[in-house]
Structure 1
Amino acid sequence: MANKNIVFGLSLIWSFIACVSCKCLHHEEQLVYQWVAVEFKWPNDTMKQEYINSSKYILENNAINGIKLYKDDVYLTIPRLKDGVAASLVIIDKNDNSESPMVDAYPSWEMHILGDCNTLQLVQSMEIDPESGLMWILDTAYVPSSSIEVAKRCLPKIVVWDINQNKEVYRYVFSKEVIEDPFYLNDLVLDYGGQKGVEFVYISDTLGRKMVVYNHRNKTAYTFVHSSFERKMQYGNITINGESEMVPLSVNGIAMSDDFRYVYYCPMASLSLYRVPTSALRNKDANMDAVVESLGSKGIQSDGLYHGRGSSLYYSTLGQNGVYRWDTLKNTKEVLVKNTTIEWVDSLGMDGKGYLWFTSNDLHKYFRNGTIAGKSNYFVWKVYVGEKGYLDTPKGGPVFGCKETGSKSASIAEKWVTVDFEWPTCKQRENALASNNYIPANNEINGISVYKDKIYLTIPRTKTGVVSTVGILTEHSIQPYPSPAMNTIGDCNALQSVQSMEIDVNTGFLWMLDSPSGNSCKPKLVVHDLNKNTEVFRYVFTESLLGQKYFLEDIVLDYIHQTASFAYISDSLGGKLIIFDVGNKSAWSITHLSMTHNTQYENIMVSGIQTSTHQKGIRGIALSPNFKYLYYSPLAGVKLYQIETSVIRNKISTATDINTSVREIGNKDFPTSGMYSTKTGLYLTELSTGSIVKYSYSATGNLVNGSKTEVTKNCLIQWLDSPTVDANENLWFTSRNVEPFFGNSTMTEHFNFFIWKLNIGQSKDTSAGSVLSGSTSVYLLQFCLIMMLYFHFV
Structure 2
Amino acid sequence: MMLPSETYFGKLEAVFLFYGAMPTGVTVSETGRIFICFPKWGDDVKFTVAEIVNDTIQPYPSIEANVVNPSNIATSFISVQSVVTDGRGTLWVLDTGAPNFSEPIKGGAKLVAVDLNSNTIRSVYTFTDDVVLPTTYLNDVRFDFRVGKAGYAYITDSSSRGPGAIIVVDLETGYAWRRLNGANSTSPDLFFLPKVEGRILMNRNKDGSTSPFRLASDGIAISPDGKTLYFCPLTSRQLYSISTEVLRDRTIPDRNLQYYVKYWGEKGASDGMITDAKGNVYAGDYENNSIRKILPNGIMETIAHDPRMLWPDTFSIGPDQYLYFIVNQLHRQSRFHYGNDLREKPYSLLRMKIEEPPAPTFK
Please state which band the TM-score falls in when normalised by the shorter chain.
0.7 to 0.9
Match of 1:604 in 2: 194
Equivalent of residue 46 in structure 2, options 459, 467, 477: 467
- Map of 1:18-37 to 2, 5 A cutoff? none
In the alignment, residue 618 of structure 1 is paired with which amino acid? S
Q: Percent identity?
A: 25
The corresponding residue for 1:728 is 320
Cα displacement (A) at 1:740:
4.0
Task: Tell me what 1:674 maps to.
Answer: 272
1:595 alignment partner in structure 2: 186
Give CA deviations for 1:515-570 in whole Å, capped at 9, x if unaligned. Answer: 02247342011110011112111011122222221111110002317986100000
Q: Which residue of 2 aligns with 1:614?
A: 213
Change (3 A) 1:514 1:731: same
485, 489, 494: which one aligns with 2:68: 489
Contact 1:404–1:712 at 8 Å: present in 2 too?
A: no
TM-score, normalisation: structure 1: 0.40
Where relative contact order (Cα < 8 A, 6+ residues apart) is larger, the structure is 2
Coordinate RMSD, CA, aligned: 2.3
Match of 2:228 among 624, 629, 632: 629
Could you say which residue in structure 1 is the equivalent of 2:8?
A: 405
Q: Is the 8 A contact 1:562 1:766 kept in 2?
A: no
- Residue 128 (structure 2) pairs with residue 542 (structure 1): yes
Q: How many residue pairs are counted as aligned between the two chains?
A: 332
Shift of 1:746: 5.5
> Larger % of helix: which?
1
Question: SS of the counterpart of 1:600?
Answer: coil
Partner of 1:447: 25
Q: Which amino acid aligns with 2:77?
A: L
Q: Given the alignment, which residue of 414, 421, 429 partners 2:16?
A: 414
Question: 1:404, 1:526 → 2: CA distance?
Answer: 43
**TM-score scaled by structure 2?**
0.85
Aligned equivalents of 1:679, 1:512: Cα separation in 2: 23
Structure 2 residue identity aligned to 1:559:
F
Q: Does the 8 A contact of 1:558 with 1:564 survive in 2?
A: no
Deviation at 1:739, TM superposition (A): 2.2
Distance in structure 2 (CA, Å) of the matches to 1:693 and 1:535: 35
* 1:426-450 deviation per Cα after TM superposition (whole angstroms, max 9, x unaligned): xxxxxxxxxxxxxxxxx21110011
1:760 partnered with 2:354: yes
In structure 2, relative to structure 1, the CA distance for the partners of 1:445 and 1:649 (3 Å cut) is same
The answer to whether structure 1 residue 683 and structure 2 residue 308 are counterparts is: no
Q: 1:572 matched to which residue of 2?
A: 158
Q: Tell me if the contact between 1:614 and 1:635 (Cα under 8 Å) persists in the aligned partners.
A: no
**Structure exhibiting the larger radius of gyration computed from Cα positions:** 1
Q: Distance in 1 between the 2:41 and 2:118 partners?
A: 30
Provide the rounded CA distance (Å) in 1 between the counterparts of 2:16 and 2:200: 26
Please tell me whether the aligned partners of residues 215 and 233 of structure 2 are also in contact (alpha carbons under 8 angstroms).
Answer: yes
| TM-superposed deviation, 1:471 | 0.4
Aligned pairs for 1:4-23 within 5 A:
none
The structure-2 alpha-carbon separation of the partners of 1:464 and 1:411, relative to structure 1 and needing over 3 Å to count, comes to: closer
Aligned counterparts of 1:553 and 1:484: Cα–Cα separation in 2: 23
Which residue in 2 is equivalent to 1:66?
Answer: none
Letter of the 1:581 counterpart: D
Name the CA distance, whole Å, in 1 between partners of 2:294 and 2:105.
Answer: 41
Q: 1:548 to 1:560 in 2, by over 3 A?
A: same
2:332 pairs with 1:739: yes
What are the ranges of 5 or more consecutive residues in structure 2 without an aligned counterpart? 203-211
Code of the residue aligned with 1:494 in structure 2: it is S
Per the alignment, do residues 490 and 755 of structure 1 end up closer, same or farther by CA in structure 2, a change over 3 Å counting? same
Q: Deviations over 1:124-158 (max 9, x none)?
A: xxxxxxxxxxxxxxxxxxxxxxxxxxxxxxxxxxx
Alpha carbons of structure 1 residues 411 and 746: separation in structure 2 relative to 1, 3 Å: farther
Q: CA deviation at 1:582?
A: 0.8
Structure 2 match to 1:520:
105
What is the distance in 1 between the residues matched to 2:302 and 2:131? 38
- Whichever residue aligns with residue 239 of structure 2, its letter is L
Matches within 5 A, 1:701-716: 704-705=297-298, 707-716=299-308
> Deviations for 1:656-682, whole angstroms, at most 9, x for unmatched residues?
5412211212122x2111110113311
8 Å Cα contact 1:746/1:752 also seen in 2: no
Unaligned runs of 5+ in 1: 1-401, 420-442, 698-703, 771-794
Q: Distance in 2 between matches of 1:563 and 1:734?
A: 33
Aligned residue runs from structure 1 range 502-517, under 5 A? 502-506=84-88, 508-517=89-98
2:223 equivalent to 1:642: no
SS at match of 1:478: strand
Q: Determine the C-alpha separation between the residues in 1 that align with 2:333 and 2:135.
A: 26
